[in-house]
Amino acid sequence: MKVFFIAIIGAYIAGNTYVFIRTMQMMQSCGVWWRMLVGVAFWTVAFSMIISMFLRGVELPIAVQKAMFNIGAVWMVFTLYMVLALMAVDIAKIFIPTMRGGYLYALGVTTLLLAYGYYNYRHPKIVNLEIAIDKPITGGNTRVVAVSDIHLGNGTDKRALQRYVEMINSQQPDAIIIGGDLIDNSLTPVRQQRMEEELRKLQAPQGIYMVAGNHEYISRIDECEKFLQHTPIQLLRDSVVTLTNGIQIVGRDDRSNRDRLSLSQLLCNTDAAKPIIVIDHQPYNIAEANAAGIDLQFSGHTHRGQVWPLNLLTDYIYEQSHGYRKWSKAHIYVSSGLSLWGPPFRIGTNSDMVVFDIKSTAKE
């Protein structure tokens, strides 16, 4: 993991260096003081998100925290697409030596892509799925709304959470499940904005159930658990709850806990004759879950890379990186996240919320 993190930071610095050099080349006719000013601003913005993450436990004014985080987050994706656009311009110049204004073309294309990506992010998709289970459900069909990766904090603020709560409640769910990473990098901005006030507005007569994600561990899992006690959300950490209609919800702790129970250990606490829904933040070992005899699994974590071409990487890493698939026995859905981490863009991917209408096909 450390090697991967170092590689990402190295690639980010290299990309910014390339964009910076091209920016200075474009500004050759400007005075030295202008270039120095742009240079200082460039690198301040480039490292602002990294600085904000190191300061995540410090009680800074909300406006300062959000500005540092959001500016730096936007810059991450700007750097990615600006590098790709500038490389395309460099290749084009080989075939069109007389081409001028390549930097401005690259800047224009990048800006348009980011505008589209922000619009796409602000309009999550609602996925409606009918799930047939050959096990009895008391009272008939059950509607379960499932969301994951909301990442409350400096990126997803209280106003955004209000939209999400209204979106969830509008589906009139019987139960709500949250697939982890409700909190982003720190509880500090969550508490400062009193986000528990919005979470208390979630409505589901059969209850609201959540598992921890890796970001709950980044944010200190014990503190997150205490925070959730002030909301109607029940955190399941290697535990099972049975709804009044007989559906059993198995909540696995995140892989960040190396001592978490295995799925087979957890299933010993269930009745195989009744419906079993598993919530597991990270979608690893899905084939094993399918073979274990569960009926439905909901996961998140992948974000499906959030922006192209990172979705190609997640598609390669995971057995199922996004969306619905009926395996030989189990129904599996991997959400790309209702919100996202960091950069507020969806390019080549979509934010989503899934509505499961679960019906029984068992003969009475």
Tens digits of residue pLDDT in 81-102: 999 999 999 898 888 888 888 8
Segment 114-125, tens digit of pLDDT: 999 999 999 999
Token pair of 97 as six digits:
């030596």
Sign of CA dihedral 251, 343, 8, 55: negative
pLDDT at position 364 is 58
What single letter denotes the amino acid at residue 33?
Answer: W
Segment 104-115, tens digit of pLDDT: 999 999 999 999
Q: 221 pLDDT exceeds 60?
A: yes
Token pair of 323 as six digits:
């969306």
Token pair of 23 as six digits:
């920016």
46-50, 353-357, 360-364 — most confident range:
353-357
Contact between 131 and 357 (Cβ < 8 Å): yes
What percent of the chain lies above the pLDDT cut of 90? 74
Segment 307-344, tens digit of pLDDT: 999 999 999 999 999 999 999 999 999 999 999 998 99
Confidence of residue 27 (pLDDT cuts 50, 70, 90): confident
Segment 232-246, tens digit of pLDDT: 999 999 999 999 999
Q: How far apart are CA 297 and CA 289, in angstroms?
A: 8
Q: How far apart are CA 155 and CA 161, in angstroms?
A: 11
82: left (phi over 0), alpha (psi -120 to 50) or beta: alpha
Token pair of 259 as six digits:
């001592």
Confidence of residue 59 (pLDDT cuts 50, 70, 90): low
Contact between 236 and 251 (Cβ < 8 Å): yes
Mean pLDDT of the chain: 92
Segment 172-193, tens digit of pLDDT: 999 999 999 999 988 988 999 9
Domains and CATH numbers, the chain: 2-121 (no CATH), 125-360 (3.60.21.10)
Contact between 207 and 142 (Cβ < 8 Å): no
Strand ranges, E, within 78-140: 125-133
* Residue among 167, 119, 127, 176 nearest 323 (CA): 127
